[in-house]
Amino acid sequence: MCAALAAAAPVEWTFPKTGSCHDGIPFADGTTGVLAWGGDDTLNLTVGRADLWDRRGGYPWTDEQSYTNIVAAVRSGDAARLYGLFSKTVPPGEPRNPTLLPLGRVVVKIPGAELLRGELDPFTGVGSIDFALGGRTNRVEMAMSRDSHCFAARFPDGIAFEATALCSMEFPAARNELEKIGYKKAIYGESGFAWALPADEPVSLAFAKTGCELTVRTWRGEAVAQSRGSHAAFADVRAESEARWAAFWREGAKVSVPDPVLQRIFDYGMYRFGAMTDPLGVPAGLQGPWLEDDKMVPWSGDYHFNINVQECYSPAYRGGHFAHLRPLFDMILSWRGSLRDNARKFAGIENGYVLPHSVDDRGTCIGGFWTGTIDHGSTAWVADMMWRYCEYSGDVDFLRGAAFDFMKGAMNVYLAMTEEYGGRLSIPIGPSPEWGADDVRKAVGRDPSFQLALAHRLARDLSAAAVLLGEAPDPAWADVERRLPPFARGDGGIMLFEGRPFAASHRHHSHLAGLYPFDTIDTTAEAAAVAAARERWIGCGTGAWSGWCVPWASILHTHFGDAADAVRMLRCWDEYFCGPGRASHHDAIKEGFSAMTWRPWIMQMDGQCAAATAVMEMLVHEVDGRVEYFRGCPPEWRRVSFSNIALRGGRRVSGSRIDGKTETAVSK
């Protein structure tokens, strides 16, 4: 019934790629990442690990950081008191915050060669780089295996090459920062190095050169000498990669759209999502396992829970890759003791959970950014992620054993924060993510639309979960639905806070979160408010936007029914925020769309994954709880189709729209 999907094209690179490791071809096994880049006769393999943390530092929650004290300081305008609650003294020789660490590089020299072009097949994980040597074009093939824990490359027979391993301590920018906090140089062997960390498990990187093949591996807690004999043959690594990616694409969604840019955005975005969030791997932070080797990782490479983690994992839902969520959830649930202690200190309750917006892999707060620390939407959004996982996958055991408890704990904090106000419930003080943090009186306000949307989403999720588990819903959840406003209402339709309109371009579209991703605003009953909010949001423009918010804007345009703008946003994201290697950047890499252009080197995976999700949302999207097909597809798209996109309730859907005729088939 549904039209056949078009065959996928490989993603292409032109060489040299010498400006940034992130311009390279990416490989990963869910824990270790490799970026292949370089120029002339030099192929650089930048190697990183998603679990290579220096866990020193951070900001433990204190008894003084109570919601009562925060509200009092905000209402009095006492900035010194407020900032003092979130300050700390850093001991000499220690980091202020936990951070992921750069690991190292394998430098491959091919004397007399010139790197020309490369490609990656996202359906097999196999890549290649062509190089000129001796008057002919040659090809090195590359792949990475989760099973063998190896990156492997095969050069043509008779091609001479040499390899050298370098720890990040060999690069001045990284060494200068690391020496300040107690790092020493690595100990080298003939084929790699072992690096002792000041307070965490050591790490090793080693390569093996056998004939025309090169393999690279990393370890935690083992010396280089122990790595000999543990490398795999290229043929085995390639076969394992092909099998792994065949299973990935067989399990999940595929799309076929007539726009080659959007087709690549989807195929490549899903590949990178799958590579960094493997069910047997490490939960993915801002950059996944693809970390720079010559400098410190931007923003610690941490877990940002006020949208960034959510975007990184968004393809798991429509894409049908539910198992990729479990390492993230298992990590968060392992922090429940400290999150419960945070709730006791913040909200004065024993049955809550509070998750700061920025943490390391042990849940330790990073930063001192006070509005982020108190952004309870981070906790509630994770709770919603867990519930949606249960809805999509049908994993009732996970709901009963862990998710329902986490959801209730998140709601209990909201209940503790609310107060009676004019005959209704109200959140007296709360942030809209990253809005105005330098001004105490503008950074937070009464009834932030973002927090209201999350409280309503959580109340609905909890009631549905209780029914599924055969339990009686707590009357307090219905009270939230009945007496807490759905959003802050005003002349701008949907406001940031009570009395404060959305007034300037901003990277967080959080005041519109009740439309997407939470779908808590009745767009029919609130049509006038939604239209006013849309007009003001568009009018404020894109001048202060970061890369990861552009795919979010595309999905909002789909929600509004603005198909042409949904497509335009993704094409703009690809043009202005993706570097020469197709990697997603936080800041724009050139002028013309956003004024946020001063840090074009910062790569983040949130935009890449959210863009793949945005393509799926064009095809299958929910408005007011109803599934709508092809809502984000322009009418000039005469032939578009998809298969195996996931819906709530364990269903899968395939569909096509050919010359205006739509056909869909839903299966369980």
Joined together, the tokens standing for residue 479 give 């009270």
- Confidence at residue 88, expressed as pLDDT on a 0 to 100 scale: 87
Give the orientation angle of helix 605-619 with respect to helix 260-276, to 10 degrees.
120
Please tell me the distance from the alpha carbon of residue 299 to that of residue 53, in angstroms, as a whole number. Answer: 13
| Residues 164-190 pLDDT 10s | 999 999 999 999 999 999 999 999 999
Q: What is the mean pLDDT of residues 589-595?
A: 97
Q: What is the mean pLDDT of residues 551-568?
A: 98
- Confidence at residue 369, expressed as pLDDT on a 0 to 100 scale: 85
Domain ranges of the chain: 11-52+101-251
Judged against a pLDDT cut of 70, whether residue 426 lies above it is answered with yes
For strand 162-167 and strand 187-189, is the pairing parallel, antiparallel, or unpaired?
A: unpaired
- Confidence at residue 284, expressed as pLDDT on a 0 to 100 scale: 97
- Confidence at residue 1, expressed as pLDDT on a 0 to 100 scale: 44
Judged against a pLDDT cut of 90, whether residue 440 lies above it is answered with no
- The least confident of 188-197, 307-316, 433-442, 564-573 is 433-442
Beta-bridge partners for 493: 490
Handedness of CA 433, 436, 441, 446 (dihedral sign): negative
Contact 603, 609 (CB under 8 A): no
- Confidence at residue 8, expressed as pLDDT on a 0 to 100 scale: 72
Alpha carbon 349 to its chain centroid, in Å, reads 31
| Residues 277-302 pLDDT 10s | 999 999 999 999 999 999 999 999 99
Joined together, the tokens standing for residue 97 give 């915050």
- Confidence at residue 423, expressed as pLDDT on a 0 to 100 scale: 95
Please tell me the distance from the alpha carbon of residue 92 to that of residue 392, in angstroms, as a whole number. Answer: 49
Judged against a pLDDT cut of 70, whether residue 7 lies above it is answered with no
Please tell me the distance from the alpha carbon of residue 322 to that of residue 326, in angstroms, as a whole number. Answer: 8
Please tell me the distance from the alpha carbon of residue 656 to that of residue 654, in angstroms, as a whole number. Answer: 7
Contact 138, 115 (CB under 8 A): no
| Residues 257-280 pLDDT 10s | 999 999 999 999 999 999 999 999
Contact 129, 153 (CB under 8 A): no
Buried b (16+ CB within 10 A) or exposed e, 588-605: bbeeebbebeeebbbbbb
Contact 655, 2 (CB under 8 A): yes
Torsion of CA 346, 351, 357, 360, to 10 degrees: 110
Q: What is the mean pLDDT of residues 466-493?
A: 97
Q: Report the amino acid identity of residue 630.
A: F
Torsion of CA 292, 243, 283, 647, to 10 degrees: 130
Please tell me the distance from the alpha carbon of residue 257 to that of residue 656, in angstroms, as a whole number. Answer: 10
- The least confident of 117-121, 235-239, 390-394, 432-436 is 432-436
Residue 559 neighbours by CB under 8 Å, 6+ apart: 515, 516, 621, 623, 631
Joined together, the tokens standing for residue 18 give 């010498």
- Per-residue confidence at 223, pLDDT binned at 50, 70, 90? low
Q: What is the mean pLDDT of residues 592-616?
A: 97
The CA-to-CA distance between both ends of the chain, in Å, stands at: 17
Residue with tokens 């202690």: 341
- Confidence at residue 58, expressed as pLDDT on a 0 to 100 scale: 96
Judged against a pLDDT cut of 50, whether residue 228 lies above it is answered with no
- Per-residue confidence at 442, pLDDT binned at 50, 70, 90? confident
Give the orientation angle of helix 404-417 with respect to helix 336-347, to 10 degrees.
10
Contact 304, 365 (CB under 8 A): no
- Confidence at residue 439, expressed as pLDDT on a 0 to 100 scale: 78
SS3 of 89, please? coil
**Torsions phi, psi for 214 (to 5 deg):** -130, 130
**How many residues are there in the chain?**
668
Please tell me the distance from the alpha carbon of residue 297 to that of residue 21, in angstroms, as a whole number. Answer: 12
- Confidence at residue 224, expressed as pLDDT on a 0 to 100 scale: 56
Residue 245 neighbours by CB under 8 Å, 6+ apart: 122, 123, 124, 125, 271, 274
Burial of 580 (0-12, 13-18, 19+ CB in 10 A): middle
Cis peptide before 111 (omega within 30 of 0): no
Judged against a pLDDT cut of 90, whether residue 367 lies above it is answered with no
Residue 408 neighbours by CB under 8 Å, 6+ apart: 351, 462, 474
- Looking at per-residue pLDDT, the higher value among 532 and 86 belongs to 532
Judged against a pLDDT cut of 70, whether residue 659 lies above it is answered with yes
Residue 446 neighbours by CB under 8 Å, 6+ apart: 421, 426, 427, 428, 429, 430, 488, 497, 498, 499
Judged against a pLDDT cut of 50, whether residue 15 lies above it is answered with yes
Contact 455, 380 (CB under 8 A): yes
Share of the chain above pLDDT 90, in %: 91
C-alpha pair distances (Å), 301 with each of 48, 291, 523? 11, 8, 37
CATH code 2.70.98.50 for 11-52+101-251: yes
- Confidence at residue 4, expressed as pLDDT on a 0 to 100 scale: 54
Joined together, the tokens standing for residue 505 give 């371009």
Please tell me the distance from the alpha carbon of residue 623 to that of residue 135, in angstroms, as a whole number. Answer: 59
Joined together, the tokens standing for residue 182 give 């107690």
Q: Report the amino acid identity of residue 571.
A: R
Spatial CA neighbour of 181 closest among 94, 62, 106, 102: 94
**Torsions phi, psi for 61 (to 5 deg):** -70, 140
C-alpha pair distances (Å), 621 with each of 134, 247, 517, 646? 54, 25, 10, 11
Judged against a pLDDT cut of 60, whether residue 159 lies above it is answered with yes
Please tell me the distance from the alpha carbon of residue 471 to that of residue 466, in angstroms, as a whole number. Answer: 5
Neighbours of 527 (CB within 10 A): 11
What DSSP assignment string belongs to 330-356? Answer: HHHHTTHHHHHHHHHHHHS-SS-----
Q: What is the mean pLDDT of residues 116-134?
A: 98
Joined together, the tokens standing for residue 80 give 């010194």
- Note the maximum CA span of the chain: 83
Q: What is the mean pLDDT of residues 194-221?
A: 96
